Structure 1
Amino acid sequence: MNQVIDTDVVVVGGGPAGINAALAAGRNGARTLLIERYGFLGGMSTVALVYPWMTFHTMEGKQVIAGIAQEIVERLQALHASPGHVRDTCGFVHTITPFHPEIYKVLVMDMLKEAGVKLLLHSFVDGVQMSGVGGEHIESVRITTKSGPVTVRAKMFVDTSGDADIAWLSGAPVLQGRDSDRLTQPMTMKFRMRGVDLAAVKRYMIEHPDEFYRKTPIAELDQLPLSAVQGFYKHWKEADLPINRDQVLFFTGPEEDEVLVNMTRVQGLDGTKVEDLTLAEEEGRRQVLMVADFMRQRLPGFERASISQVGAQIGIRETRRLDGQYSLQIEDVTEGRRFEDVIARSGYPIDIHDPKTKGVTAAWIAGDGAYDIPYRALLAKKVDNLLAGGRCISTSHEALATTRLSPSCMATGQAAGTAAALSAAAGISPQSLDVKRLQETLVKQGAILH
């Protein structure tokens, strides 16, 4: 028997963007349902071990992301599950934000209950029912569950699936990968290791500064807790592993002898195709064993280390994204552009993991070190009650390389959820919503827009 649920706002995808969207919608008075396919929340932050969060600040240390995202950090701190924002000791950004993923999973469930949000886990959206003269209105979504199909009808839908699933299923225009060949940034299977002697790692860095990323604050390492390591170039080159990357990268924590390794690289596969995902999972896990052996055998401080956790699924940087009312461009980011319809800001640089080669292309932000994300980048074309948040907002391939990061996703998620609630209450489309009213609401609820 097909169960039917009626609500005001449906958020699809329980990652950082979806959590913040659902919290924002619920707190702004909308009956809200959050749909997540796994048995827990957190999206890439938990299922794929994307850790730590990068970044809430500009390169100069000015905070540009706050609101619900900052509230989550502070509540994690109160639970001794995050040190808050700490210096990035590889120097790619000014701060990173470590967190304990298991405590984060429970905390956000508590917060959703506080906001009156209904949650459906183990639920996968596989269909969209359209209505309207031109089929421009989402009437409902269909969910596949263990207890049978469920139809969910709502006034507004927020796509925080990461893969623009709802946009694609509804017929809204979407893009994927580079304009030239549709290739996307590579996937990465992340894993944790325990038994790491981080003091030995730090000593080696201080004694061999040339072997590490050029922005590493070597002169300050004596005073800073080690949070991130990028380099060991000589060791990686000598190992000559069949993995198409050029350096070692890991982050410390959450335990004192633990690191999160971000080094596998699976290229040339499409994260929206089940056959490609199957191949990616196999290849990613083979690379994990290879990298762990390399680290134990060759890196100082890893002699007694062992794998403690591998991602439940491979991490995905890029698949489909909305082709929306405005597409954020690389120049908007690097020139630090401002928009009248700003709904979020970010200080994370361009960070493109090349779809084919070993390298990473980076570009930093001019001006005050932050750029605006406009409301129009959250709005779909051809569908009048759909918003996007997180990784699948409307950008170019290059600009996605900054908006895809979790704090930016949290900020756009809060904006999308707030806009959905305000639009549902007023009985209007998100495209007709007064942007100034949206901005005022966001600022009252802690967002930083200036």
Structure 2
Amino acid sequence: MDRVVEADVVVVGGGPAGINAALASGRLGAKTILIERYGFLGGMSTIALVYPWMTFHTEKGEQVIKGIAQEIVDRLQEKGGSPGHLQDTVGFVSTVTPYHPEIYKLVAVEMLKEAGVKLFVHSFVDQVKVEGTEITSVTLTSKSGKYEIKAKVFVDATGDADIAYLSGAPTSKGREADGLTQPMTMKFRMRGVDLVQVKQYMLDHPDEFYHKTPFAQLSSIPLTGVQGFYTHWKMSGVPINRDQILFFTGPESDEVLINCTRVQGLDGTDVEDLTEAEEEGRRQVILMSEFLKSKVPGFATATISAVGTQIGIRETRRIVGAYSLTIEDVVAGRRFPDVIARSGYPVDIHDPSGKGVVAADIEGEGAYDIPYRCLIPQSIDNLLSAGRCISTTHEALATTRLTPSCMATGQAAGTAAAIAFHDKTIPRLIHVAKLQEQLRLANAVLD
């Protein structure tokens, strides 16, 4: 027999979006439960080594993501788990935010406890019960058997829109033309890297690196990321379908995070495809590390120090919401009356089948609005979405999927869920002005 637990708000998915949603809900006095299938929190940031967080700022350096996301960075800095926001030496964005994943895991739990959130880890949601147009409960499978978790409002922060999908709410997946998704990446860290040598090589061979690399400042600022070594890669013969080397420094002084493996043509919601992706990703890690050690300046004595617990997933299912954000909205820096978050991250589409990345900058002020309607799925009245699975097109997802944006939509979803509970209504019918007021009080940037 299922054990029954009741709450006001249930958040499923313990990644950055889910953490921030649960924090926002708990702080507003809603009895909140956060469910996570792994034994620790952090989602792709800890499970798949997605690093660093990018970006909290526009290209011009204006910070457009604050609120709970910034609180987490502040708490990490207090504990020596982050240097804060640093200039991006790749030059793709204004800033990146390095962090220590192990410290982030602990900070997240501490903050959730402070907010009164009940946490279930090692718990996998495999059933969603629906009556009419509302979810009544979700069922967890765990080591101690089944749990039925009842609530008034639910937040889907799974990244894969699992709760929406299981509830029968409409979802979409991948590129509109063919359903293909952005590639998966098995990220890994290496220690023993001579970053002084790497930086000197960059200064001596600027043509070998991304054209926006800030070479004029490189001698006087910390090296945070490197994109290039184009000739080395072209001559490598490594059978990975990409066109350059990309890595980010830290968290240790001789450590880098390698973002180079690329697994294409597989579906991150299909267990057989995921099985294949894990094997292929780990095979590519070994190929890539051997190439770096033998051919790339600074890596001669480097060794693998960590590999993702699972492969990193950029794109799977997303909800079909009351509104779907488009690439035109993003590039135009469009404003919306129901704004609940802003982002300054440019469009960054990793080709589902080719080698390259399609990028597009944001016009005007360098930031765009994410409207509340993107968090509201069709068909299910008491469900909200947060993070990677909000309602967007394939192209717009290439910016909303980044961690700071997910943190911001998570805070908005959790705030809306708590308001809906307290006002005895459904998320679609809450007063957006009340939601926006509460977000501003919590230091979110909407203007």
Q: What TM-score does the superposition give when structure 2 sets the normalisation length?
A: 1.00
Equivalent-residue separation in structure 1 for 2:2 and 2:40 (angstroms):
24
Within-5 A mapping of 1:287-436: 287-436=284-433
Post-superposition offset of 1:80: 1.0
Equivalent-residue separation in structure 2 for 1:240 and 1:392 (angstroms):
36
Cα RMSD, aligned residues only? 0.4
1:448 maps onto 2:417 in alignment? no
Q: Which residue pairs with 2:153 in the alignment? A: 156
Post-superposition offset of 1:88: 0.3
2:164 counterpart letter in structure 1: A
2:393 counterpart letter in structure 1: S
Q: Which residue pairs with 2:26 in the alignment? A: 26
Post-superposition offset of 1:65: 0.1
Q: Which residue pairs with 1:204 in the alignment? A: 201
Post-superposition offset of 1:241: 1.1
Q: Deviations over 1:27-85 (max 9, x none)?
A: 01100000000000000000000000000000000000000000000010011110000
Post-superposition offset of 1:220: 0.7
Equivalent-residue separation in structure 2 for 1:367 and 1:260 (angstroms):
33
Q: Deviations over 1:241-287 (max 9, x none)?
A: 11000000000000000000000000000000000000000000000
1:233 counterpart letter in structure 2: Y
Q: Which residue pairs with 1:46 in the alignment? A: 46
Equivalent-residue separation in structure 2 for 1:89 and 1:333 (angstroms):
24
1:439 maps onto 2:436 in alignment? yes
Equivalent-residue separation in structure 2 for 1:355 and 1:240 (angstroms):
21
Equivalent-residue separation in structure 1 for 2:395 and 2:28 (angstroms):
33
Equivalent-residue separation in structure 2 for 1:321 and 1:34 (angstroms):
20
Q: Which residue pairs with 2:106 in the alignment? A: 106
Equivalent-residue separation in structure 1 for 2:322 and 2:110 (angstroms):
35
Q: Deviations over 1:337-366 (max 9, x none)?
A: 000000000000000000000000000000
Post-superposition offset of 1:183: 0.3
1:277 maps onto 2:274 in alignment? yes
1:145 to 142, 145, 148: 142
1:192 match: secondary structure: strand
Post-superposition offset of 1:214: 0.3
Post-superposition offset of 1:235: 0.2
**Number of residue pairs matched?**
447
Post-superposition offset of 1:240: 1.8
1:182 to 179, 186, 211: 179
Q: Deviations over 1:209-260 (max 9, x none)?
A: 0000000001110111000000000000000211000000000000000000
Equivalent-residue separation in structure 1 for 2:235 and 2:377 (angstroms):
48
Q: Which residue pairs with 1:69 in the alignment? A: 69
1:98 match: secondary structure: coil
2:336 counterpart letter in structure 1: F
Gaps spanning 5+ residues in structure 2: where?
Answer: none
Q: Which residue pairs with 2:233 in the alignment? A: 236
Equivalent-residue separation in structure 2 for 1:304 and 1:129 (angstroms):
54
Gaps spanning 5+ residues in structure 1: where?
Answer: none
**Large movers: runs of 4+ above 6 Å:** none
1:224 to 206, 221, 230: 221
Equivalent-residue separation in structure 1 for 2:76 and 2:58 (angstroms):
22
1:359 counterpart letter in structure 2: G
1:110 counterpart letter in structure 2: E
2:392 counterpart letter in structure 1: T
2:328 counterpart letter in structure 1: E
Equivalent-residue separation in structure 1 for 2:6 and 2:434 (angstroms):
27
1:353 counterpart letter in structure 2: H
Q: What TM-score does the superposition give when structure 1 sets the normalisation length?
A: 0.99
1:282 counterpart letter in structure 2: E
Q: Deviations over 1:135-184 (max 9, x none)?
A: 21101001100000000000000000000000000011100001111000
1:125 maps onto 2:125 in alignment? yes
1:276 match: secondary structure: helix
Post-superposition offset of 1:427: 0.5
1:21 counterpart letter in structure 2: A
1:12 maps onto 2:12 in alignment? yes
1:111 counterpart letter in structure 2: M
1:121 counterpart letter in structure 2: V
2:113 counterpart letter in structure 1: K
